[in-house]
Structure 1
Amino acid sequence: MISLRARLAELALPLLGIKRFFSQLDRMDERLAKMRQAKSPRPAAKWQKRFRIEEDTSRSYPLVTLTPLGGAKPHAPHLLYFHGGGYVMDIAALHWEAIASLCDRLGASASVPIYPLAPEVTVTTTLPAMRALYDELAGELGAENIAVGGDSAGGGMALALVQDLKRDGRPLPGSLVLFSPWLDATASGEGMDAIEPRDKMLAPSGLEACGVRYAGGLPLDDPRLSPLFGDLSGLPPVAVFAGTSDILVSDARRLREKLGSLGEPPAVYREAERMQHVWMLLPIPEGRAALDETAAFLRHVHVKDAL
């Protein structure tokens, strides 16, 4: 049985208008233009009591870094986190709460790129920029000390980045965390249409439309957009979280099946009954439990590797 707060969140989600955004394709560009006028949020003031929060604008995008005021704990990973939003929407306050809460649990630092959005900037520019950032962090901290993570589209970006590194024979991060990952830009996974009436946030047609805007003319099954169709062998330890009321559970299930067929199943696979898209970020007991489990996974991987 899900918590009362989760049931209330389920009732409240339609009021946010996210489902309308992904369902009313004729108004998507109009709504994106309006979103661009809003100020990009940053971590709430309360986190300044626990972290040094810095913003570097020397790149083509802002990079926000969170560092515990007393310094990161020994062996705590450095989190490189890519936010979701269909590649077209900015980071949200909920992202910052989850990122800061996860770092607080671990005593860890984090780098959060406010990457350029589609359709203004597409995958052939964005993914190399994120690769350059990873290479910079890996050179400074050691690849094995980095945890790459992301939610929704950010989860797809995280997996695509790891595949890019593997293809070039570069050192991989120590771990990979995927929250409700969007791994197939074609939005054609089996079972999506049956789940869609229960999904309070997403619609397959809207996902595909966002994929087209991010693709910049590439086929939607290109692994840079749809890492589910790329090389999945030899990944670092991976944790996957999904919900049964999220159409993207289809992507998570296919990833689990493909990794299992390679003899490399996810180290953690958590599919929560009746949970909505990115429930791990929501202020509900189930979301807090997911962050607890993520922190335990990261401690196990990174502390073990450091010994």
Structure 2
Amino acid sequence: MASFRARLVNLALPLLGIKRFFSEPELMSERLAKARKRKPERPKAKWSKVFDIVEDTSRGYPVVTITPKQGTKRGAPHLLYLHGGGYVLDIAGLHFETVCRLCQMLGASATVPVYPLAPEHKAPEILAAMRALYAEVSERHGAENVTVMGDSAGGGMSLALAQMLKTDGGARPASLVLWSPWLDATAGAEGQAAIEPDDRMLAQVGLESCAAMYGGDVPPDDPRLSPLFGDLADLPPTAIFSGTSDILLVDGRRLAEKFHALGKTDFEYHEYADMFHVWMLLPVPEGKEALARTADFIAEAHAA
């Protein structure tokens, strides 16, 4: 059973308006237009006492770099974090809060792209930009020192990026971390409809709309949108985190099943009972536990 705090947070989730956003696709364009007018969120001022936080816009989109003021811990990884938001919503303060906490736990630095969004930009362009950014990060820090990670849509993008690296011969990162990953853009997997009444954040119809805006002419079952259907062999060590009150549970489960079928042994699958979408970003005991498990996995992958 979920902790008392997690149950309270779950009850309050509808107040954020995320479920309404994903349940009313006919209003999505209007709501996105309003969202684009808001001031973009960045790390809270308190983190500037701990990290040097630099924002660079020279690539045509902002990239935020987070580096410990005392320097990174010897042998610490570098995190390339791809945020969630259905490929249409901008990065949230909670994303930066969580990345900073993880960097603090690991003594690590991080690169956080505020990547271009759909529907103004489409998957091929966005993925190409992330592939180019990964090349820069891996050259600067060494691919063997990089963890690529993300939540929700960012988790799907992380897996798609790893598949792109395999296809084009790029140096693979030391590890992948996928939090509540969205891996199947068709949004019609068996089992999702049964979970949806318990999911207080996502709805299948909204995922379908986001996938259409992000994909453009790319079909939803294309591995660039749905990396679950791409080449899963010989990927880096991978950690998957899924919650049973999240319609994307079925994506995480299927990825773990496919890894098992391939005989992959360097992966972890963590399923949290009664937990909601991207709970690791929120101040609940299960979120702290997921962060600790993530830090341990990354540290072990980089020590191997």
TM-score scaled by length of structure 1 = 0.98
Match of 1:245 in 2: 245
Match of 1:35 in 2: 35
Task: Output the amino acid matched with 1:129.
Answer: A
Match of 1:202, SS state, is coil
Q: Does 1:10 align with 2:13?
A: no
Match of 1:80, SS state, is strand
Match of 2:263 in 1: 263
| Conserved? CA contact 1:256–1:265, under 8 Å | no
Gaps of 5+ in 2: none
Task: Output the amino acid matched with 1:120.
Answer: E
Match of 1:93 in 2: 93
Quote the offset at 1:267 in angstroms: 2.2
| Conserved? CA contact 1:256–1:266, under 8 Å | no
Match of 1:212 in 2: 212
Q: Distance in 2 between matches of 1:82 and 1:227?
A: 15
Q: Distance in 2 between matches of 1:11 and 1:253?
A: 25
Task: Output the amino acid matched with 2:254.
Answer: R
Q: Distance in 1 between matches of 2:83 and 2:266?
A: 21
- Residues 88-130 of structure 1, C-alpha deviation per residue, up to 9 Å, x if partnerless? 0000011111111111100000000000000000111000000
CA RMSD in angstroms, aligned pairs only? 0.8
Gaps of 5+ in 1: none
Quote the offset at 1:303 in angstroms: 2.1
Q: Distance in 2 between matches of 1:61 and 1:283?
A: 29
Quote the offset at 1:266 in angstroms: 5.5
**What does residue range 28-177 of structure 1 map to in structure 2 within 5 Å?**
28-177=28-177
Task: Output the amino acid matched with 2:178.
Answer: L
Task: Output the amino acid matched with 1:103.
Answer: C
Match of 1:234, SS state, is coil
Q: Distance in 2 between matches of 1:216 and 1:194?
A: 28
Match of 1:181 in 2: 181
Q: Distance in 2 between matches of 1:198 and 1:143?
A: 39
Quote the offset at 1:170 in angstroms: 1.5
Quote the offset at 1:69 in angstroms: 0.5
- Residues 161-200 of structure 1, C-alpha deviation per residue, up to 9 Å, x if partnerless? 0000001121100000000000011101110000000000
Identical counterparts, % of pairs: 62
Match of 1:233 in 2: 233
| Conserved? CA contact 1:76–1:303, under 8 Å | no
Task: Output the amino acid matched with 1:63.
Answer: V
TM-score scaled by length of structure 2 = 0.99
Q: What is the number of equivalent residue pairs in this alignment?
A: 304
Task: Output the amino acid matched with 1:51.
Answer: F
Match of 1:199 in 2: 199
Task: Output the amino acid matched with 1:238.
Answer: T
Q: Distance in 2 between matches of 1:102 and 1:96?
A: 10
| Conserved? CA contact 1:259–1:266, under 8 Å | no
Q: Distance in 2 between matches of 1:206 and 1:259?
A: 28
- Residues 65-106 of structure 1, C-alpha deviation per residue, up to 9 Å, x if partnerless? 000011111111100000000000000011111111111100
Match of 2:278 in 1: 278
Task: Output the amino acid matched with 2:77.
Answer: P
Q: Name the stretch that deviates more: 174-183 or 2-11.
A: 2-11
| Conserved? CA contact 1:118–1:214, under 8 Å | yes
Task: Output the amino acid matched with 2:47.
Answer: W
Match of 1:268, SS state, is strand
Match of 2:269, SS state, is strand
Task: Output the amino acid matched with 1:197.
Answer: P
- Residues 32-60 of structure 1, C-alpha deviation per residue, up to 9 Å, x if partnerless? 11100111100011111110000011111
Q: Distance in 1 between matches of 2:288 and 2:98?
A: 9
| Conserved? CA contact 1:240–1:266, under 8 Å | no
| Conserved? CA contact 1:186–1:208, under 8 Å | yes
